[in-house]
């Protein structure tokens, strides 16, 4: 069984795995409430394999490994196939050795089900913030980033979106911070790496200071 749900906004391709219906639903609702993007829900390892294989670049896996003794070895295989995917475990397991096995297999965080649901959601939110800071890009920031990738200067982007130059600079500063970069070229490269932009989305050279020319940008932006 697997279903897909689309939240109001967001670009993260996330998957929830678990054999227990209650926890599967709980974890899905937690991710839905964060408005991250598409959330696929799987109840078997077979479904999980199918969903991940059909996802262009899976970003996040939140899994409940309880009741699946082979999960650590399976996770190790997943980590080799999807090295950039962030994997978070939510489990009843408290044995330190078994928790260490999950971490060694590729989990970046292991959270306990013995905490209150609100605590788990807060910990999940914090983990996503640390590991996937770019997931918090807003719709406006993504729009500006796309136009920057097309070669638009701040002035051209501002004119296209009916914003002030200063507003564009403000949004770009937030984009740099969330992507962990310091320049337009780095922002576009990082955005492509995590699947926010297509590899061919930049039609013109990127430069932080040079105006690329309004006519050329306008033709590309509205193509």
Q: Looking up tokens 């899994």, which residue turns up?
A: 63
pLDDT at 209 over 50: no
What lies within 8 Å, CB to CB, of 68 at 6+ separation is: 19, 45, 74
Percent helix / strand / coil, the chain, rounded to 5: 50, 15, 35
pLDDT at 50 over 70: yes
For residue 81, with 0-12 CB atoms within 10 Å meaning exposed, 13-18 middle and 19 or more buried, which class applies?
Answer: exposed
Task: Please name the helix (run of DSSP H) or strand (run of DSSP E) that holds residue 80, with its range, or none.
Answer: helix 71-81
Q: Which domains does the chain have, with CATH numbers?
A: 2-135 (3.40.50.2300), 138-221 (1.10.10.10)
Mean pLDDT across the stretch 43-59? 91
Residue 193's pLDDT band (boundaries 50, 70, 90)? Answer: confident
Tell me what the pLDDT averaged over the chain comes to. Answer: 84
- End-to-end Cα separation, the chain, in angstroms: 40
61-71 pLDDT tens trace: 999 999 999 99
* Model pLDDT, residue 205: 45
Model pLDDT, residue 132? 83
- Lowest-pLDDT range, 51-65, 107-121, 183-197? 183-197
Beta carbons of 44 and 1 less than 8 angstroms apart: yes
Average pLDDT of the residues in 186-213 = 64
Q: What is the pLDDT of residues 132-167, one digit of tens each?
A: 878 778 878 989 999 999 999 999 999 999 999 999
Beta strands in 100-170 (DSSP E): 109-112
Percent of the chain clearing pLDDT 90 (strictly above): 58
For residue 18, give the 3-state DSSP assignment.
Answer: strand
4-13, 39-48, 117-126: lowest mean pLDDT where? 4-13
């Amino acid at each position: 069984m697997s279903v897909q749900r689309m939240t109001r906004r967001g670009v993260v391709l996330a998957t929830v795995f678990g054999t227990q219906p209650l926890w599967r639903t709980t974890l899905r609702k937690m991710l839905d409430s964060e408005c991250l993007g598409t959330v696929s829900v799987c109840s078997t390892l077979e479904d999980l394999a199918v969903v991940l294989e059909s996802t262009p670049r899976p970003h996040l896996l939140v899994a409940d490994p309880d009741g699946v003794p082979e999960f650590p070895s399976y996770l190790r295989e997943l980590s080799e196939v999807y090295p950039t995917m962030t994997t978070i475990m939510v489990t009843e397991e408290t044995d330190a050795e078994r928790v260490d096995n999950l971490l060694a297999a590729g989990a970046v965080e292991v959270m306990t089900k013995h905490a209150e649901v609100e605590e788990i959601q807060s910990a999940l939110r914090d983990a996503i913030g640390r590991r996937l800071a770019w997931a918090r890009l807003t719709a406006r920031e993504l729009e500006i980033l796309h136009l920057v990738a097309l070669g638009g200067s701040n002035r051209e982007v501002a004119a296209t979106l009916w914003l002030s130059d200063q507003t564009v600079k403000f949004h770009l500063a937030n984009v740099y911070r969330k992507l962990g970069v310091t320049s337009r070229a780095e922002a576009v490269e990082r955005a492509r790496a995590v699947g926010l932009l297509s590899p061919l989305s930049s039609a013109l050279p990127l430069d932080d200071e040079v105006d690329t020319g309004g006519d050329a940008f306008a033709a590309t932006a509205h193509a």
